[in-house]
Amino acid sequence: MQVVTILGSNSGNKRQLITEAIRILSSTEQWVMASSFYETAPWGFECDENFLNQVVVFQTRLSAFDFLQRCLETEKRLGRIRLAGGPRYSSRPIDIDLLFYDSVILNTPDLILPHPRMQERNFVLTPLAEILPDFVHPVFQKTIATLLQECPDKLQARKLPD
């Protein structure tokens, strides 16, 4: 199965943390492709540090739930602390979100696929459109390029040099 993820960081050595998360996930899953790195202001909360984001596609034999568990373990290993009852959005050394698991549509308390708010976020759609512009969102039946054009988010996602 093809899993599309977005990795983000806004504390510590952001590029190194994202690269290390990809290395950890690639130790058991096959890395397929990745977007450029993009810098964006925080979405949903205020802080001084911008985020660094990258969309990465993996090939996996794991279920969506098992892949999610690997992502959560990787976040913890790299210093992410999730506080029960804490704020939904906050600064973090690493964040890994599943955007798509092939074209599976899933809605459970632990996992919603495709990611339920991706169409509202330039920092997701811009790097996603770089590598998968023609991928059709299985719920909206629109390409990623079209979703980016229609996105109401005005925060700029700035592509960084390699």
pLDDT (tens digit per residue) in 64-81 = 999 999 999 998 999 877
- Topology adopted by domain 2-159: Alpha-Beta Plaits (3.30.70)
Within 10 Å of residue 148's Cβ, how many Cβ atoms? 20
CA distance 161 to 130: 14
Between 21 and 49, the more confident residue is 21
Q: Which residue ranges make up each domain of the chain?
A: 2-159
pLDDT (tens digit per residue) in 22-36 = 999 999 899 999 999
Beta bridge partners of 106: 113
- Amino acid letter for position 56: V
Determine the pLDDT at residue 142.
98
Angle in degrees, 0-180, between the axes of helices 14-26 and 64-77, rounded to the nearest 10: 140
